[in-house]
Amino acid sequence: MHEFGITSSIAETALRIASENGATKVLRVDLLIGQLTFLSVPQVRFAYEVLAKGTLLEGSELAIQEATGLVECQNCHHLREIRLPDDPDALTEPLPLFACPECSGKVVVVKGKECQITGMTFES
């Protein structure tokens, strides 16, 4: 479960930001998670609640926005959105290698691997 380790880093970062801004309580943490991180949102929420206990984060809202994947062909620069099932654990086969539908060229991920705090609300 890599969600706990990643969420631990998110909580540490949020606590550092709160401390640097003289916060007495964190009310909300806005988080952007790309689908291609394969993070389970329910597991991130659970880990956040566990890690928040006894800290300035306890009782705060974790507002998660999910970003779909976007790939770009290195050859013709065609952009294509990649949509995964709502539950990545439901995938029964490995993901296919991504190839450009226009020219069959190699594609690179340009969006969907994000995992970042995009905003915070706190009391000071």
pTM value is 0.81
**Domain spans of the chain, in order of start:** 2-123
CATH class of 2-123: alpha beta
The pLDDT, as a whole number, for residue 124 is 87
110-123 as b/e, with b when 16 or more CB fall inside 10 Å? ebbebbeeeebebe
Return the pLDDT at 100.
Answer: 86
Q: How many CB atoms lie within 10 A of CB 29?
A: 25
Closest CA to 15 of 54, 53, 55: 55
Question: If the chain, 124 residues long, is cut into consecutive pieces of 10 residues, what is the mean pLDDT of each piece?
Answer: 90 97 97 92 96 97 94 92 66 61 90 95 94
